[in-house]
Amino acid sequence: MRIGELASRAGVSVRSLRYYEQQGLLTSSRSDGGQRRYTDDQVMRVELIQWLYAAGLSSRTIAEVLPCVDTPNSEKTAAALKRLTQERDRLTEHIAGLVRTRETLDELIAASTRCQEVQITRKTLLELPEPGPSAPPAPKLPDHPAYQQIMAVFTAADHPLRARQVCEAMDLAVAPNNINNVRLKLKRLADRGILTETEQGLFTQPRP
């Protein structure tokens, strides 16, 4: 089937399918005219990829897990299980930090309630447990596959990029309209703190 039919049957956009191919998550054959061709089995594969994205996994993690689905064996299954366990542990640690913060707030609320004038004294604050470390929330990526493609380009690059270079990496025609659209998206990512504009029109990921 053609790419448009696969997109329709799987409930995704054509751009998302191209992005999955770019990330090595999906493969296609080519017709004599150079058009992408897919099999019926790949409808379920795209649905699986969408499910893994919804579970919060990155493209890199999904690429590490899919070989267990394609050609399962004990070695690949063990590797996939280890990677998924690492993701689960990361989420568990973050949740634990949130729980510690909530417990601290419960103590603060209880102390305030006991005060006759609803006033927290210095002694009350000193008696409260130290709040556990909590990571600040990460900037939210806009909900559109194009932004996932853009971030994949910056993850693979080791230097700042301009809109034209991002278009080339995304296999888009280097046309003024495409360049302007990509530039607007880069500006939006910079406004959210996901990217940094080091100079006019030059973008990179913030250093940790």
Could you tell me the two tokens for 61?
């993690």
Mean pLDDT, all residues of the chain: 83
**pTM of this structure:** 0.41
HEC letters along 10-75: HCCCHHHHHHHHHCCCCCCEECCCCCEECCCHHHHHHHHHHHHHHCCCCHHHHHHHHHHHHCCCHH
As to burial, measured by CB atoms within 10 angstroms (0-12 exposed, 13-18 middle, 19+ buried), residue 30 is: exposed
* Angle at which helices 74-114 and 59-70 cross, to 10°: 140
Structure confidence at residue 101 (pLDDT):
87
**Does residue 118 surpass a pLDDT of 60?**
no
Distance CA 22, CA 16 (A): 10
Name the helix (H) or strand (E) containing 197.
Answer: strand 196-199
pLDDT tens-digit profile of 172-191? 888 999 999 999 999 999 99
pLDDT classification of 156: cutoffs 50, 70, 90: confident
pLDDT tens-digit profile of 39-62? 998 899 899 888 888 887 888 888
Structure confidence at residue 183 (pLDDT):
93
pLDDT tens-digit profile of 3-35? 999 999 999 999 999 999 888 889 888 888 888
94 compared with 61, residue with greater pLDDT: 61
Distance CA 168, CA 63 (A): 23
pLDDT tens-digit profile of 120-144? 666 666 677 776 666 667 778 887 8
Structure confidence at residue 165 (pLDDT):
92
- Which residue's structure tokens are 């990571």? 135
**Does residue 202 surpass a pLDDT of 90?**
yes
